Chain A
């Protein structure tokens, strides 16, 4: 296929895909994340039960059950997904009550039926069926209960019982304050899971208490179980019983649970049937209870019981360690127990909603594992809409300024690049709708950033095209050579960006995943549009008069860049010192001020709300003093455009969803809240997961990047890259410490993105060093690097600038989240551009110059130039030869054959040799001048072939015997 046909085919393909994309954009709706449309997000961590370990299957089954529960709630477009090995993330758009949602979706729903009197334990850890002060007597389930502290004090004395009973419990741990007699945290499976357990001692006021298997502490019936959230959110009285965990039936023994109405009282209840085995167990248990009641003649104080009500014995229905109901068995009506043929019912204090919720939970079954709510956040729809608006503005502005930059800098090439960017944006948006990708605020940031990535690829190629034209090629030949030579650097840089996005996607939390996904997809799409599309357009236009004039490409004759001839390696000492000083300040700041971590890492609860009535910090503190937030809460006025001027943020220790509701209700009653407040609660487990994921992501990224660079270049190129990346990360950390900005998950995502971007510049520089090494077979390594820097510093600066532009748009026009993100990116991008030139390259130079071949070259050059190694390679008799030639020069330098397939022509070879030996030094670099010179060696330089980074495939190729007769008959 000819080039012309190939270009037309590409353009046709692009056109067809464009039409398809426009149709997809018009037909499909965009799926917005919770941060853009409002709703509740809950993150649970699965914990093992006695019946099931936390396996992939158990987590998946839990997700299925949760999905059914969510469907029963009637939530549109919910998202329930596994996150990591043992976490489940639930996104519920448009849901406004986080507490209620958590109660209905994440409740384990472990249902057990107990023979009450037989299992309630007294002070001596033994059942006391006749002791009303233990069982509650006729008021079983509410009377005779203990405070949670006292119940635990009793339960911890009970020995472990693991045989002879049907038990569901494992060892549990609680954190208690023995001075205030309060339970601070628990139950947990391990002491280390208890929040604040670090300060606990065996005999101190804060202690960890252990409850052995076979004993369970259950909360008494709530006196007013009127709402579903009360019933299931474990908000109830401080009244508890200690039970021997020997259940008679469990949730799997019942079928067909339904919300119904009591035939006598018309009160809502939950009816259900039994399975065949459940029916037998039910009859046996109720028969035992009835017989015990009929035998019951006196209370423990010896008084004869004459009231039949007092003889009635009970069974208890316990859901997730809370008593739902404790009905009695009338031994006179049911002396042989109750036949379960007609099923049974749970009644008492239900509303229709709470009865429906319980029926649904029982219907879909108990979750196979316990779920602990480790993070919950609620975003109001208004704020979400505002965030979306800000993100779109930032996107449009970012796109516009990148387009202006390209047009001004590259003229006609810029027009083509902007066209490619538009096509890229349409493709990406269509893909977002088609896949579909849930667009979140970090996702929008990713979208805007990929505009920079796409522009970078164009810049790399256009600069290369200009360079080729400057070197004397015609415009069509320059375009062809520019694409051919620029491709390797672009692919390397984009592969690294894609790998970082992939690592980020695998290891990060849900919010950042959106960013990583968009970044990854965008990088791939940008490769297509920035390379294939622009090449096809330029190839088609190559002979047109529009493009044949160099000025149309932003190419000006005689223009010299200020850094041409600059001794980068010589100056690197000063830049190294500058970096050293900055890092020194950063280290002192990290030591003195530390880093301010957000609640993503620290755990805690944050409530942000715009208030109706004017308020101040003290007033709010007073208003919430009686809530679980208490007086220790940190209250601050915040200035956020989306929240208005009378907005406040309350930060406190982690609160449960119901406790968060108490805080917002207190605010509502004192000052009134405009719309819905934004709330976020992060547990320590989630914070640890985030922190661990971040550290692993950074380490894995560095390793993968190093491996890739070692593979594509040489392992010695990988080490300076890692040092430069460490430099960028530490500088960003130092700036965060100095400015006191909060480090959030977004910051970590930004840091990882910085790794990718910093590398983009470094790869561009190293790629040119790699290219120049075989071309300069007699030059010192510092001269090769200086030469390479001169050639690529324009494009390195231009790519950094084009990346910084959309980031700047995010910083100026994005909402608070995007601003945090953009700040880290901006610092990292600037530092990345700087480190590529002034850290990575000098380190590489210093290291490579220790290699014997370069040592010998340096020694030779120093001998020739009076002890100095000139900044640029040259002969002893003229101007430097390896600095890009001026436009007035009659003969252009040639670096590569016009047509590589035909090899180097004689004329080209002579021209290259002339270039290498013609001129004199311009400026000296006193490198290693104090060192003794190595002895002269006749084998001082290797041949150019020896210096080329070898292609392993070629190396192993067997030598073919030389055929000097070229087919002539012998």
Chain B
């Protein structure tokens, strides 16, 4: 149940990335993956590598997914920006003469 709450929180926060310029690595889908994976991993980490069961899931458990989701999306964003920069730095190949 804890994992469901984290992932749900991650996906909820992902919806707000629509307001950001699309510079995520792999775009909005990359941000989605970042949010879900980040939310899960962070929740898993702060709970000592244990997924809280039904009896152990509280309001706080859901909130634990938020920092992870933001971090996950930030990582995807930074990677996207880095790749954009690298792409721009690469000179465009000359077109062959016809």
Contacts and interface: CB of A to CB of B under 8 A. Distances in A.
A580 interface: yes
A591 B12 contact: no
B21 A931 contact: yes
Given A573-B18, A580-B16, A586-B12, A591 B60 contact: yes
B59 A592 contact: yes
Interface in A561-584: 572-573, 576-577, 579-581, 583-584
Interface stretch (A34-42, A219-227, A329-337, A726-734): A726-734
Contacts of A587: 5, 8-9, 12, 62, 65
A719 B28 CA distance: 11
B75 interface: no
A354 B93 CA distance: 92
B1 A595 contact: yes
Contacts of B71: none
A846 interface: yes
A813 B96 CA distance: 73
Contacts, number: 92
Q: Which of B8, B18, B57, B65 has the most CB of A within 10 A?
A: B8
A590 B4 contact: yes
A631 interface: no
B1 to A, nearest CB: 6
Contacts of A27: none
A720 B13 CA distance: 17
A726 B14 CA distance: 13
Nearest to B58: A591
Contacts of B29: 719-720, 723, 843, 847
B79 to A, nearest CB: 14
B20 to A, nearest CB: 10
Contact of B15 (A579, A597, A847, A935): A579
Nearest to B4: A590
A690 to B, nearest CB: 15
Interface in A533-586: 572-573, 576-577, 579-581, 583-584, 586
Interface string B44-78: 00000000001001111111010000000000000
Nearest to A938: B95
B54 A594 contact: yes
Q: Which of B4, B7, B57, B60 has the most CB of A within 10 A?
A: B4
Contacts of B7: 730
A587 B54 CA distance: 14
A590 B54 contact: no
Given A733-B8, A734-B8, A931-B21, A591 B15 contact: no
A935 B92 CA distance: 10
B18 A730 contact: no
Nearest to A939: B95
Contacts of A577: 15-16, 18-19
* Chain B, interface SS category: helix
A740 to B, nearest CB: 14
Nearest to A595: B1
Contact of B59 (A580, A591, A726): A591
B19 A573 contact: yes
Contacts of B5: 587, 590-591
Contacts of B61: 591
What is the size category of the interface that chain B forms with chain A? Answer: 20 to 34
Contacts of A733: 4, 8
Contacts of B9: 584, 587, 591
A850 interface: yes
Given A588-B59, A846-B27, A594 B15 contact: no
Contacts of A581: 12
B40 interface: no
* Chain A, interface SS category: helix
Interface string A925-943: 0001011000100000000
B63 A583 contact: no
Interface string B16-47: 10110111000111001000000000000000
B12 A584 contact: yes
A842 interface: yes
Contacts of B14: 580
Contacts of B21: 928, 930-931
Nearest to B17: A576
Contact of B62 (A576, A588, A928): A588
B19 A590 contact: no
Interface in A883-938: 928, 930-931, 935
Contact of A730 (B11, B54, B63): B11
Contact of A590 (B8, B13, B27, B28): B8
Q: Which of A579, A580, A587, A594 has the most CB of B within 10 A?
A: A587
B57 A583 contact: no
Contact of A576 (B4, B8, B18, B58): B18
Contacts of A931: 21-23
B18 A583 contact: no
Contacts of B18: 572-573, 576-577, 842, 846
A584 to B, nearest CB: 4
A930 B21 CA distance: 7
Nearest to A723: B32
Interface string A680-700: 000000000000000000000
Nearest to A719: B29
Contact of B13 (A573, A580, A597, A935): A580
Nearest to B63: A591
B12 A594 contact: no
Contacts of A842: 18
A583 B32 CA distance: 14
A914 B9 CA distance: 49
Contacts of B58: 591-592
A586 B13 contact: no
Contacts of A726: 11
Contacts of A727: 11
Nearest to A578: B15
Given A577-B15, A594-B57, A847 B27 contact: yes
Given A590-B4, A719-B29, A583 B15 contact: yes
Nearest to B62: A591
Contacts of B92: 935
Contacts of B1: 590, 594-595
A583 B60 contact: no
Contact of B28 (A579, A584, A591, A846): A846
Contacts of B8: 583, 586-587, 590, 730, 733-734
Contacts of B12: 580-581, 583-584, 586-587
Nearest to B60: A591
A712 B61 CA distance: 40
A576 B16 contact: yes
Contacts of A847: 27-29
B77 to A, nearest CB: 14
A170 to B, nearest CB: 31
A581 B46 CA distance: 25
Contacts of A573: 18-19
Contact of A846 (B16, B22, B54): B22
B22 to A, nearest CB: 6
Nearest to B65: A587
A842 B22 CA distance: 13
A850 B22 contact: yes
B49 to A, nearest CB: 19
A583 B4 CA distance: 12
Q: Which of A572, A588, A842 has the most CB of B within 10 A?
A: A588
Nearest to B54: A594
Given A576-B18, A577-B19, A592-B59, 5 more contacts: A580-B16, A581-B12, A590-B1, A595-B1, A847-B29
23 contacts: A572-B18, A576-B15, A576-B18, A579-B15, A580-B15, A583-B11, A584-B12, A586-B12, A587-B9, A587-B62, A587-B65, A590-B1, A590-B62, A591-B5, A591-B57, A594-B1, A594-B54, A594-B57, A595-B54, A847-B27, A928-B22, A930-B21, A931-B21
5 shortest interchain CB distances as A-B pairs: A591-B62, A580-B15, A583-B12, A587-B8, A584-B12
